Structure 1
Amino acid sequence: MKTWRKTGVAFMAALLLAAPMTEGIGANQGAAAQAESDKSQKSLAAAEAQRMAETLIDGYGISGVQYALRSEGKIVLSGGLGIDEEGNKAPIGKDAMFGIGSISKMYVTAAAMMLADAGKVDIDAPLTDYITEFTMADERYKQITPRMLMNHSAGLYGTHYRNSTLFVDNDSEINDALLHDLRSEQLKSKPGEYSVYANDGFQLLEILVERVSGMDYSGFLAKSFSEPLKLTSTKTPLDAFDRSQMYPVRLPGIKGVLPVENMNMIGAGGLYSTAEEVTLFSEVLTGRRPDLLSEASALAMRQPDYRRGVWVDSDSNIFSYGLGWDAVSLPPFNHYGIQALAKGGDTSQYHAAYIALPEQGVSIALLTAGGNSMFNTAAASNILLAYLKETGEITDIQPNQTFEAPIQKEMPDSLNVYTGLYGTVGSTLSITLMDGKISLPHIYGLIPEQTYVYTGDGAFTGEDGRTVLSFDEQSNGHTYVRVQSILEAPGIGQVPVDIYMWQKLESHTVSDSVRQVWKERNGKTYYAVDEKIKSLEYLTPQSLIKTVQLDEGVGYANGTIIKDSSHAVNIVEIPVMMGRDSYDLAFFKENGIEYLQSGGRTFIIEEAVTPIYNGRASTATIPASGHARWFQIGKGAAGRIMMADFARSGGFAVYDGNGMPVHISAANGGHTVVLPESGLIVFGGEAGDVFKIMLKPSK
């Protein structure tokens, strides 16, 4: 069966940069925003904001941009630009709401710190003091503290995404499911050893707030922040509000406006807001509202907590974790002697960036439909620099770095020890140092495939001149490949990253019998059966499939170390970026069918995915387990019109042979589709739901 491993990743990248069409927000709001924009066009910051909005829309496939800049408590710049239903650019009003994704982490962090101010939480006490039912299979879980949740150092695998982002459905069972799932799971490191991004930590923090306060989290936010700050457009999926305020989104190939997404991991990424209201909440985070959060707590949040454990010593990195913050020393502001705090956020539909300069009393938020928070942060930085120059805080804006081709030097023989097998989440890689050169594939599509040559001081520089590799032997006993690079965002600027990308692995062998079992699985694809059919994951189905791949090193598969014929566990610790979420592999059989459990999801083997009946009429029933049912589209069904009748709780998705979505009923409500050749269909709903299927010749 054809797998979607490569095409799925490509489709995700396409979605991030796609240009979805949107409907207008309202003539009155648009007119007001245009008047405000015209009034402020004389300012340097306003001109830069307009340029950034145009660049993001024209060059990055973003369909809507909203921004606001606040100084000394007052809005000094606010505006927005989007694509209307005719495909024309039009202003976006300040009241249009966007999902702010992981900026939500700042709210749950502030909530926990507020409880600490009240003496109800000690952020360095065991988490089990506050969530008594929290337990894991790894005894080290007892060492986890609320602080470790806030600074990403708890050692958790990362994220349980199952049923977290749904159309229409605001089911919040994900928190209860998380506590259940964690009971049987391990930690990937000693708590506090290092900081690697983990959404699960902020879900646990949300539960902590509820347990300690005795209130549901949405209610706590409303009472503690929205009411005193008069935040009228900062909501959670559980709140009752006018969903038409949400900036509407379309995606290529999906008919109509997409329903509003419900990111039900509320603490980790579920809030909706506006750019102006994000900057108003910034007053709390920067200590300007001590009636809500003490200055001491705000100051504690912006300390370099990432330095408490293993960390990359760099002054040019978009990652420098505080409590909640992605960065407490965001470049390029640190090069001007200014501390900048930053948090980015991404959901399936929306992307966001928020930067605060606490000493200057300035903050900016830039929200988009489509795109990527990394680009949002770069664009927001440009606007903020223009404002600082305009107000005399800085005299000049430093130019972008330039790069030259590297000059190779003779490599010491002592570095040959670093030749070997390395792992990152999902794969392994053999790295060979030969004649002072290292050849590596592309890194997440952001850094090109290239050869790196030795340039001295233990460093290898890529052909692009902007990417440097080195080998770090860390205090935890592991050796890592460190990647320092300046990513280029044309028309926006440069984004510096400094990360551990690969971890050196030890040799590992398994018995012949175990090797044979895994060899038989090699290349087989497994399909998720426990994701609700209303999930947005069906828009990017690569997250719902897993293909087993034996790695270059004997005894490794999908970047995990094989333990026996049915289990492989995560071995990689620090390597981060897009592959930050680790997972194990566990196989089991039920009624003779093999299943895979990984990352909190259950997958069924491809042999159980049979061709859909190609006669005129048939039915498909959701079993008592509630599992979704996958079918191949065989030659007899390809090209025919399928009409499906099903209950409101049900739905289906259809994909072509490359894994691209052809029809998502939860997105457009349709029940009819022409079946593509070599494609797949998945039906989902509640246990017992019956799908009545009709196949007709296409016209």
Structure 2
Amino acid sequence: MNIYPFNLYNIKALSKGGDSIFYHSNLTVLPEQNMAVAVVTSGGSSSYDQVLAQEILLAALKEKGVISKIKQDKTFTVPEKTTAPTEVVKKYEGLYVSPSAFIDIKIDKTGTLSLSNPQAPEYGTQTFVYTKGGTFVSSEGVASLKFVEETNGKIYIKATGYQSLHLLGQTASNYYIAQKENVNKLTESVSEAWAKREGKKYFLINEKYSSEFMLACPSVQVSFTKGLEGYFKFDKIVDNNSAVAILDGPGVLSRDLEDYTFYKKNNLEYLSKGGFTYVEEAALETFPTINESTCTISSDGYARWYKIGAQSADKVITVKIPQKAAFAVYDSNGGLVNDSLITGINEVKLPKNGTIVFLGDAKAEFNIKYKE
């Protein structure tokens, strides 16, 4: 409830943001003022929505006379650098894991901290300098990092920062962003089991026909980063078929975690994660080339995927779609060509090296014809 910038006016505020793939929202409430603003957008982020909400509320508070003026955005000065103690360097250097990236932390004797992403070296390196307060501060003074050792014995990075959004306003953040991790080393047998999966792709089969996940080809591809072969995505590999989530820090650091489990069924490999089921690409048949065919959803209700072969590429098909069902077509890069539920179009030109998926209730039957 101590939310910037309302805390500058001693005003209690509560704020909740939410994001799906395409839609974003924020609700900010000032309970003591009996005021609230909700912002919903089809772009940007819930953080942007929160800044818009706060600016609307500040303007309303000034208009009502609750505040006399809207304060200027916070400004910053270049931090005063000092030498980092040896124990700080030794204790906090190393590998950290966040919900979306691995972070490599290096600290030199002069007190300069370098932060990089080993999975995306093209992003370069961020630098922070050690200050008397025991925090590392960016060269502009806008952002700072602090290492915190919690009662569970684990070390976390806590980040504090301010961001000024053009034409909107200024926002502040203060939360745990990463957790220190000793690099996971695999046994030879486990390493070999996972290496066999590298480059393989798995396709989602148990999602509903109306799901927004179908707006881009929903698949998972196995890949590893040199030096981090002991991890799949951001989970620690624990045996031949399983990788488990390891984040357990405060706040948003540990939300939306998923374990990954691979298993065999009918000589095909499946992947289970967070309630979703995927099947390996080897299960995909080549789309039929005969003039008329049917596709029937099996009793398990799993989606039916096909690869679009050379004989079908650039040809046009029409599909008779049953109730509570849809089909989607993707190009070779996984980009959506047509989702029948959204467009209402049941005729599509099949892209070269693309994929097509049919979704619906168990036993739903699609009738397919090539257009002459």
Q: Same fold (TM over 0.5)?
A: yes
Specify whether residues 353 and 559 from structure 1 end up closer, same or farther in structure 2 by C-alpha distance, changes over 3 A only. Answer: closer
Work out whether residues 247 and 254 of structure 2, in 8 Å CA contact, stay in contact via their aligned partners in 1: no
Where does structure 2 lack aligned partners over 5 or more consecutive residues? none
Aligned mates of 2:195, 2:130 — CA distance in 1: 41
Aligned-partner Cα distance in 2 for 1:580–1:460: 26
State the TM-score, normalized to the length of structure 1. Answer: 0.49
- Match for 2:58 among 364, 385, 391? 385
2:74 paired residue number = 401
| Change in CA separation of 1:671 and 1:618 when aligned onto 2, cut-off 3 Å | same
What's the offset of the Cα at 1:658? 2.7
Say yes or no: does 1:331 pair with 2:4.
yes
1:511–1:352: structure 2 CA closer, same or farther, 3 Å change rule? closer
CA distance in 2, matches of 1:540, 1:402: 41
Q: For the structure 1 residues 339 and 468, does the alpha-carbon distance in structure 2 shift closer, same or farther, using more than 3 Å as the test?
A: same
Equivalence map 1:391-430=2 (5 Å): 391-403=64-76, 408-417=81-90, 418-425=92-99, 427-430=101-104
Amino acid of the structure 2 residue aligned with 1:390? E
- Aligned-partner SS, 2:56: helix
Please state whether the residue corresponding to 1:382 is helix, strand or coil: helix
Query: Hey, what does 1:609 align to over in structure 2?
Result: 284
CA–CA distance in 2 between the matches of 1:548 and 1:440? 23
Distance 1:453 1:677, change over 3 A: same
Q: Structure 1 residue 476: deviation in Å?
A: 1.8
**Matched residues in 1 for 2:350 and 2:286: separation?**
12
Corresponding pairs, count: 365
1:648 and 2:333 correspond: no
Instruction: Tell me, in whole angstroms, the C-alpha distance in 2 between the residues paired with 1:579 and 1:643.
Output: 46
Asked whether 1:549 is paired with 2:233, we answer no
1:584 to 237, 247, 259: 259
The Cα of 1:377 is off from its aligned counterpart by: 1.6
- Deviation sequence 1:426-476 (CA, Å, 0-9, x none): 5534333346231324999xxx85421323133333356422222211122
Structure-2 change in CA distance of 1:362 and 1:641 (3 Å): same
SS at match of 1:390: helix
1:527 and 2:200 matched: no
Unmatched segments (≥5 aa) in structure 1: 1-327
- Give the helix-richer structure, 1 or 2: 1
Q: TM-score, normalised by structure 2?
A: 0.88
For 1:294-443, list aligned pairs within 5 A. Answer: 328-347=1-20, 350-403=23-76, 408-417=81-90, 418-425=92-99, 427-434=101-108, 436-441=112-117
2:113–2:130 CA contact under 8 A, matched in 1:
no
CA–CA separation in structure 1 for the residues paired with 2:134 and 2:119? 21
Which segment drifts farther, 665-674 or 577-586? Answer: 577-586
Secondary structure of the residue aligned to 1:475 is coil
Match of 1:684 among 339, 359, 363: 359
Counterparts of 1:378-527 in structure 2 under 5 Å?
A: 378-403=51-76, 408-417=81-90, 418-425=92-99, 427-434=101-108, 436-441=112-117, 450-456=125-131, 457-462=133-138, 465-527=141-203
Q: What letter is aligned with 2:200? A: K
Q: Aligned in 2, Cα 1:422/1:610: closer, same or farther, shift over 3 Å?
A: farther
| Alignment check: 8 A CA contact 2:76 2:140 kept | yes
* In 2, Cα distance between equivalents of 1:683 and 1:388: 53
CA RMSD of aligned residues (A): 2.8
Counterparts of 1:458 and 1:575 in 2: how far apart (Å)? 21
In structure 2, how many angstroms separate the alpha carbons of the residues matched to 1:474 and 1:689? 53
Give the CA deviation at 1:392.
1.9
Paired residue secondary structure (1:521):
coil
Shift of residue 579, structure 1, vs aligned partner: 7.8
Name the CA shift for 1:482/1:393 in 2 (closer, same or farther; >3 Å).
same
Tell me if structure 1 keeps the 8 A contact 2:178–2:253. no
Shift, 1:405, TM fit: 5.6
Higher share of residues assigned strand: 2
How many angstroms does 1:484 deviate by?
A: 1.7
Distance 2:118 2:78 in 1: 18
Post-superposition offset of 1:350? 4.6
Q: Following TM superposition, by how much is the alpha carbon of 1:531 offset from its aligned partner in structure 2, in angstroms?
A: 0.2
Aligned residues of 2:11 and 2:30 also touching (Cα < 8 A): yes
Q: Which deviations, in whole Å up to 9, do the C-alpha atoms of 1:579-613 show, x marking residues without a partner? A: 83101111111110000111011111122224323
Q: Take 1:450 and 1:575, find their aligned partners in 2: how far apart are those partners?
A: 26
**Judging changes above 3 Å, is the alpha-carbon distance between structure 1 residues 687 and 378 closer, same or farther for their aligned structure 2 residues?**
same
- Supply the AA of the counterpart residue of 2:224: L
Other-structure match for 1:657? 332
CA contact (8 A) 1:427 1:557 kept: no
Q: Decide whether aligned partners of structure 1 residues 490 and 680 sit closer, same or farther in structure 2, where only a CA change above 3 A counts.
A: farther
Q: Which amino acid aligns with 2:144?
A: V
Distance 1:673 1:396 in 2: 58
1:599 maps to what in 2? 274
Instruction: For CA contacts below 8 A with separation 6 or more, give which structure has more relative contact order.
Output: 1
Equivalents in 1 of 2:93, 2:165: separation in Å? 33
Residue 378 of structure 1 and its aligned partner are, at CA, apart by: 0.9
